[in-house]
Structure 1
Amino acid sequence: MDPSQANSREYQQQAVDAEIKSLEGFIRALKLRRNALTPISSLPTEVIAAIFSILRPVASSFTTLGERSDRLAWLRVTHVCHYWREIALNQPLFWSHINFTTLTSAGVAETLVRAKTAPLYLEARVPTGWWDDARFSVFQKELQAHVSHICHLGISAEDFRFREILEGLVSPAPTLEHLSLSSVGHWDRELSSRVFVPDTLFDGTAPRLSHLELHNCDISWKSLLLKGLKYLEIHMPTKDARPSLSDWLDALDEMPQLKTLDLHSASPVAPPGALFPSGVERTITLPFLAHLNISSVSARDCGLALAHLLLPALTKLCFTATSCSQDGSDVQEILPYVARHAHGPQDSQPIQSVVVRNHRACAEMFVGTLPNIDVKSSPIALLDAMLSARVVFSVTGRVWSPGTHAEVFDAAMTALPIDSLVTLTSQLRISPLNKQSWLRHAPRWSLLQCVHLGTPAARGFTEMLLEDRGERECTLLPSLTKLVLVDIALSARRTLRLCDALMKRVEQGVPLETLDLSKCSATSHAIELLSEIVVDVLGPETTLNKRVQMGSIWNCATRGLFVEDDSDSSWVEEDHDEDDSDTGSDDEVWPGWENWGSDSDGDGYDEDEMDYW
């Protein structure tokens, strides 16, 4: 090709490209002019910026230590048009939330420039082994340079890095309101190398600090950072860092505005042999404290703290501890203080719900002012019950003797103000609610309307109803209208025993209105029999008759009308009362039912059905 022709074509292409570029610029200018004519563009810049601020993360949504949230969601408005982009990019508040973990060093630097002097919300989860010394040094310098206008700060790092970070923060923090510090990695609570929050942190000057969270790091209870707080959370300090009782009370006395106190093995240690209540010589009143969450490896430690507090505004108490005595006496000793904080004149409603959850080494109760707290069977329902409860009481007894958990439960229910109980739930296989317990507490529960029971709580409940000698005016549980049974196989003996109890309620003039068996195993004939006594019986979606027809593994075909008990070994693990020896009347065949479910011997009962609940 002739060189001159090649040059000509190149020149023509450049000319076309220049014309395209010119036209694109002209089109952009036209678009800008067109967008300027839209009604929203007539709003002042300040108004549009205020509208955009709705998408900006706010202080109340700021949490630290790995929370996943879209902090830059507001950037989407910058993709709409040039005018909006200019407004957004020039608003310092839009750039105030910075996560050092997710942004590069260059990104952090650019964001800090755009933030100017706006109050900063900084989060740094320093990943173990990911940052080299150079990046960590840049992070430290940026953090130290902007201390004066940090509003919220959350830092999580391995011990040696964490210590360096804290030692470098020596300048005052006049705008700091929220501080969350967490030491992570392999640590030993008893090692001297444990991170300690130095007194030089922020030069002891953070006058606006109201929210402090400390995880796995120690602090002196005489620290200036603890004064004037509204929210304090301390998790797992070393034993040596736990305060003396006098220092702890002195520190709380400097927090008159405190609204939430969350202490995990961070309260004073109860001295051996300390007596309650004679040892309580000084109390501190926290007039605004609404939420108290206290836990410890010793129940007496928690009791010591509760004994020295007066909380006239408390609406939520979470108590988690370990019993150190075989008979649970240490728990029973401090129950009066748990009960004192469980309900007060500040509560608008009485306690109306109790949920009992336990196994052999643990006693757990959810006590609420709402009438229908129920854990059902899902983790979400359990979480909802915990969140809505007025009191969460959980005690673990690793050295408990058999039956101690039942004694602890009985003592707790005696101490707690639950005379206005409306709903009671006890669904696990091991229950402290045996017949004697029901008979002891039922006279207080004249307002109880609904019970949710699993085995063996249902067994004790049925025996209590059969034991009740009261007539219409003085019968036990006169308001009871609904019974929900959960995870129970209704055998012949269980069904007949339940019929006896429910029929007795009818004779006493307080019949049950609803019997919910939707989560039980039962035959259609059992449902039919119970429906003759209770108006509204909710049976399981699939009865065992249908399961048999579908080839279910339940071996019910030869049993006919009821469910086989299988010795109840899978349902009853303890609480075999002495009353159960009186089973002679239960072997009686009802008139008209001589041939139900008869086996080869023709007696209708199996040796394994003797333990009917």
Structure 2
Amino acid sequence: MSQPRTSESRSAPRDTWESFIASRFDVGGGDGGIGTLSSRLSDLDLELELFQEQIVVAKRRRNSVTPCCRLPPELLAIVFSALQAVWQPARLSESNGAGSRNYGHGWMTVTHVCHSWRKAGLSARELWTHIDCVNLPTSFTATMLSRSRTMPLSLTLEGSGLSPEVLSNWLYAPVLRRTRELSITDMSISEFGACIRHLNSPMPELEELTLALPITVRLSADLDAHLTGASYPCLQRLTVRGLALNWSWPMFSSNLTHLELLAHTREMMLSAISLEPQLLPVISNMSRLQSLHLIDVLPEPAPIAQYELPRSLHHLLSASTNSSLATGHVPLLERSRCATYFVQVGNEDQSVLTPIIREMFRTWDSVNHPAMELALFNRHISVFYAGIRPRSLWRVKIDVPIGFTSVAIPGTRYLHVAEPHRTPMGRGWKLSPYLHLIPMDALQVVSLASTVATLNFPNPEAWIDAFAAASNVRRLLVSYRRIVNLFLALTTTTPNGDAHDDSRTEAEFALFPRLETLVLHDGLATQKDDIALMDFLHVRESKGAKMQELMVEENLLSLTNIWDSAEEVTTVTYFKACSTDDALGSA
């Protein structure tokens, strides 16, 4: 921080400036005529104008010494890019002028802070390649495009409010020629049509295209012809939402790596909701496809030998919000060998769910990709293949379903069953009839939400019957809430052994005989739970199957004082429950 100047330190600079000003603004010269005075005044005005210009230069040179203006342009570009991600330009409410609008400049405000920042911002051309067209003043179109020079563009047209003329400026042939990403979403039908009419211009750089409407519509023959005549030779990522599909559109090319299709079933109900007979043939030709998202756009059944999903596919999401489309999941699952997929079914009918679950959780390669971890939630089933979640994720709240994208473990299969119009906190889904369809012989981890335990396993026998094949489970995660039946099942032995006969040193337990770690999450413990827990620990220890670790959520410390007794039998560690994001951040 600069120190205040003393009067003595100001004296010399002041004298210098007074001398300089006197030399440039000489008002002497004696008396003169009107013409002479007018000429002299004109000269002084010129000197004053030039002096004002130099004040700007002086301020600029002064600012260049400040820390923020001494940052390298490359670093400023990184900072501006981060700011751009969170502070977008915005179209504000209409002003008083007829048809005019006010706009917030967002991140571009930094170019008006000082000369060095403006220079750094304007020279970073990549900052000007991501354009939110609707939220920029129409007069700024040419300026915005010129600042990116010839770099590839990412154009977003979202929402209504642009005239056909303005749309044509953004979708002008020279602009489309260097557009790499194009998103046209949430417009009125007329505005959307105006955009579509420009999409048959050459787009040799286009790699990602998104076309989306808030309702499902069928395009007119004119608009359909424009899309049919288009050519996107480099297109890799395609999202189409709300359009009745024409499979002859060139955008459904074999070069696609990512495809997302969505229909809005509310509008589809006006006509017959049906499965897509051409979906499998089209997708089977996409030899580079890596990710496929299908929402209410599902295929008709077909002979398995007729079509095969691309072997490059490693991520599949299929969802049916209408029960009549639920059977469309099976043709996909029958042909899928991908590493990760998510299925959402809007139907609880057992005859519908059974083939879906059978195909979804079937083990294709039990040697290299066995089912390693099973997680059961209120309306979800997750199975991890050839990998288990790291220890940091054991702390994630047990009653919160594992998000499809939140856990970056390859080989996750995630089923969500949600009846339409059911409230999220409604009764749970009885999943016990389907557990025999899940391969359990290689499972090492099982986790269960509290609602799953109470709804599906009313007695010890139900636990044993459901998990009889899961003899290799090493870790169990449960909520410490009315799970006496679980502890009773864990102390039950096979017919050849008596768990409470101390004369026998070996016993084969009927449920999870190789269990090593028990993780207890927050619950509502009772004295019976405490008694059953300690009995379980003592019995397992006495029969050579001692628990290696008991992990206890911190909130349980205030509910019961049983933990000191547990520490006499096994290692007890305590943890604080957290969200998935927090757990991954500490991993």
Global fold match (TM > 0.5): yes
In the alignment, structure 1 residue 495 sits paired with structure 2 residue 518: no
1:429 aligned to which of 430, 435, 451? 451
**Partner residue, 1:578:** none
Matched, 1:474 2:508: yes
Offset from partner CA, 1:570-599 (integer Å, 9 cap, x none):
xxxxxxxxxxxxxxxxxxxxxxxxxxxxxx
Instruction: Map residues 414-425 of structure 1 onto 2, 5 A cutoff.
Output: 414-425=436-447
Shift in Å, 1:257: 0.4
1:98-137 to 2 correspondence within 5 Å?
98-127=131-160, 131=161, 135-137=163-165
Cα distance in structure 2, aligned partners of 1:304 and 1:93: 43
- Gapped regions of structure 1 (runs ≥ 5): 38-47, 542-613
Change in Cα spacing, 1:241 to 1:12, as seen in structure 2 (3 Å) is farther
Superposed CA deviations along residues 555-582 of structure 1, whole A, max 9, x for unmatched, are xxxxxxxxxxxxxxxxxxxxxxxxxxxx
Please tell me whether the aligned partners of residues 427 and 486 of structure 1 are also in contact (alpha carbons under 8 angstroms): no
Contact 1:446–1:477 (CA under 8 A) maintained in structure 2: yes
Q: Does 1:224 align with 2:250?
A: yes
Contact 2:482 2:524 in 1 (8 A): no
Among 243, 247, 260, the residue aligned to 1:233 = 260
* 1:147 is the counterpart of 2:165: no
**Which residue is equivalent to 2:4?**
none
Report which stretch shifted further, 512-521 or 85-94. Answer: 85-94
Alpha carbons 1:150, 1:173 under 8 Å: kept? yes
* AA aligned opposite 2:183: G
Match of 2:488 in 1: 463
Task: For residues 131-187 of structure 1, give each alpha carbon's deviation from its aligned partner in whole angstroms, at most 9, with x where no partner exists.
Answer: 26xx34322343134222221101111333223322343323222111111112xx4
Root mean square deviation, CA, Å: 4.7
**SS of residue paired to 1:429:** helix
TM-score (ref. length: structure 2): 0.69
Instruction: Report the CA distance between 1:205 and its aligned residue.
Output: 0.8
Give the TM-score normalised by the residue count of structure 1: 0.67
Cα–Cα, structure 1 residues 7 and 488, in superposed 2: closer, same or farther, change >3 Å? farther
In the superposition, relative to structure 1, how do residues 281 and 244 fare at CA in structure 2: closer, same or farther (>3 Å)?
farther
State the match for 1:304 in structure 2. Answer: 331
> Does the alignment pair 1:483 with 2:518?
yes
Take 1:181 and 1:243, find their aligned partners in 2: how far apart are those partners?
22
Instruction: Quote the offset at 1:295 in angstroms.
Output: 1.1
Partner of 1:162: helix, strand, or coil? helix
Taking the TM superposition and a 5 Å limit, the aligned residue runs for 1:281-430 are: 281-296=305-320, 297=322, 298-307=325-334, 309-311=335-337, 314-323=338-347, 325=349, 328-340=350-362, 344=365, 350-358=370-378, 362-365=379-382, 367=384, 369-372=387-390, 373-374=393-394, 375-376=396-397, 382=403, 388=409, 390-396=412-418, 405-406=429-430, 408-411=431-434, 413-430=435-452
Local SS of the residue matching 2:172: helix
The answer on whether the counterparts of 2:483 and 2:529 sit within 8 Å (CA) in structure 1 is no
Cα drift, residue 386 of structure 1: 5.3
Find the aligned partners of 1:438 and 1:80 in 2 and give their Cα distance.
69
Q: Which amino acid aligns with 1:123?
A: T
User: Take 1:382 and 1:89, find their aligned partners in 2: how far apart are those partners?
Assistant: 40
User: Secondary structure of the equivalent of 2:288?
Assistant: coil
Contact 1:236 1:264 in 2 (8 A): yes
Residue number in structure 2 paired with 1:598: none
Do the aligned residues in 2 keep the contact of 1:222 with 1:247 (CA within 8 Å)? Answer: no
The superposition leaves residues 483-519 of structure 1 with CA deviations (integer Å, 9 ceiling, x where unpaired) of 2333433322232222222221122111223252533
Q: What residue is the counterpart of 1:178 in the other structure?
A: 208
How big is each residue's C-alpha offset from its partner over 1:19-53, in whole Å with a ceiling of 9 and x where there is no partner?
3543465677789999999xxxxxxxxxx988877
Deviates more, 1:28-37 or 1:110-119: 28-37
Q: Is the 8 A contact 1:149 1:176 kept in 2?
A: yes
2:98 corresponds in structure 1 to none
Taking only the aligned residue pairs, the percentage that are identical comes to 18
Instruction: Report deviation, 1:356.
Output: 1.0
- SS of 2:450's equivalent? coil
CA distance in 1, matches of 2:124, 2:575: 62
After superposition, the Cα gap between the structure-2 partners of 1:521 and 1:429, relative to the gap in structure 1 and judged at 3 Å, is: farther
Report the alpha carbon displacement of residue 88 of structure 1 after superposing the two structures with TM.
5.7
The alpha carbon displacement at 1:377 in A equals 5.9
Instruction: Give the Cα separation in 2 of the matches to 1:16 and 1:339.
Output: 88
User: What is the alpha-carbon distance in structure 2 between the residues aligned to residue 349 and residue 71 of structure 1?
Assistant: 51
Aligned equivalents of 2:295, 2:514: Cα separation in 1: 41
- With over 3 angstroms needed to count, the CA separation of the structure-2 counterparts of 1:16 and 1:504, relative to structure 1, is farther
Tell me if the contact between 1:101 and 1:126 (Cα under 8 Å) persists in the aligned partners.
yes
Give the counterpart letter for 1:164 in structure 2.
Answer: A
Matching residue of 2:465: 440
Aligned counterpart, 2:100: none
Query: Which structure 2 residues correspond to residues 38-49 of structure 1 after superposition, within 5 A?
Result: none
CA contact (8 A) 2:377 2:449 kept: yes
User: Which stretch of structure 1 is more off in the superposition, 149-158 or 258-267?
Assistant: 149-158
Cα 1:324–1:502 shift into 2, 3 Å: closer
Q: CA deviation at 1:292?
A: 0.5
List aligned pairs for 1:193-208, cutoff 5 A: 198-201=224-227, 203-208=229-234
Q: Does the Cα contact within 8 Å between 1:514 and 1:535 map onto a contact in 2?
A: yes
Q: Deviations over 1:434-483 (max 9, x none)?
A: 53343135454344232221266833321211322456363343432332
Summarize deviations over 1:208-260 as a string: whole Å, max 9, x none.
Answer: 11111112222212321101211100112565798866522221133110010
- What displacement does 1:122 show? 0.5
Q: Helix, strand or coil for the counterpart of 1:111?
A: helix
Check whether the contact 1:423–1:450 (CA below 8 A) recurs between aligned residues.
yes
Question: How far is the alpha carbon of 1:350 from its aligned partner?
Answer: 4.5
Q: Map residues 476-555 of structure 1 onto 2, 5 A cutoff.
A: 476-512=511-547, 513-516=549-552, 518-520=554-556, 525-536=561-572, 538=574
The residue type paired with residue 149 of structure 1 is R
Quick check: 2:361–2:438 contact (8 Å CA) kept in 1?
yes
Q: Which amino acid aligns with 2:141?
A: V
Is the 1:162–1:195 Cα contact (8 Å) retained in structure 2?
no
Q: Distance in 2 between matches of 1:352 and 1:382?
A: 18
In structure 2, what residue type is equivalent to 1:376? K
Structure 1 residue 280 and structure 2 residue 298: aligned? no
Tell me, in whole angstroms, the C-alpha distance in 2 between the residues paired with 1:196 and 1:447: 62
Change (3 A) 1:213 1:424: same
Mapped partners of 2:79, 2:561: distance in 1: 60
Contact 2:73 2:120 in 1 (8 A): yes
Distance (Å, rounded) in 1 between the aligned partners of 2:397 and 2:473: 19
Cα distance per residue 1:381-436 (max 9 Å; x no partner)? 75775554711111235799x99943x4452x433344333332212324334533
Structure 2 gaps, min length 5? 1-31, 66-71, 91-103, 498-504, 578-587
Give the one of 163, 166, 173 matched to 2:196.
Answer: 166
Amino acid at match of 2:154: Y
- Show the counterpart of 1:247: 278
Q: Distance in 1 between matches of 2:537 and 2:38?
A: 100
- d(CA) in 2 for partners of 1:11, 1:466: 110
The separation in 2 between residues aligned to 1:460 and 1:7, in whole angstroms, is: 111
CA contact (8 A) 1:98 1:108 kept: no
Compared with structure 1, are the counterparts of its residues 265 and 136 closer, same or farther at alpha carbon in structure 2 (3 Å cutoff)?
same
Distance 1:452 1:174, change over 3 A: same
Residues of 1 paired with 2:420 and 2:170: CA distance? 49
My pick for the range that moved more, 84-93 or 111-120, is: 84-93
Residues in 2 aligned to 1:348 and 1:7: alpha-carbon distance in whole angstroms: 100
SS at match of 2:377: strand
Query: Is the contact made by 2:471 and 2:512 (CA closer than 8 Å) also made in structure 1?
Result: yes
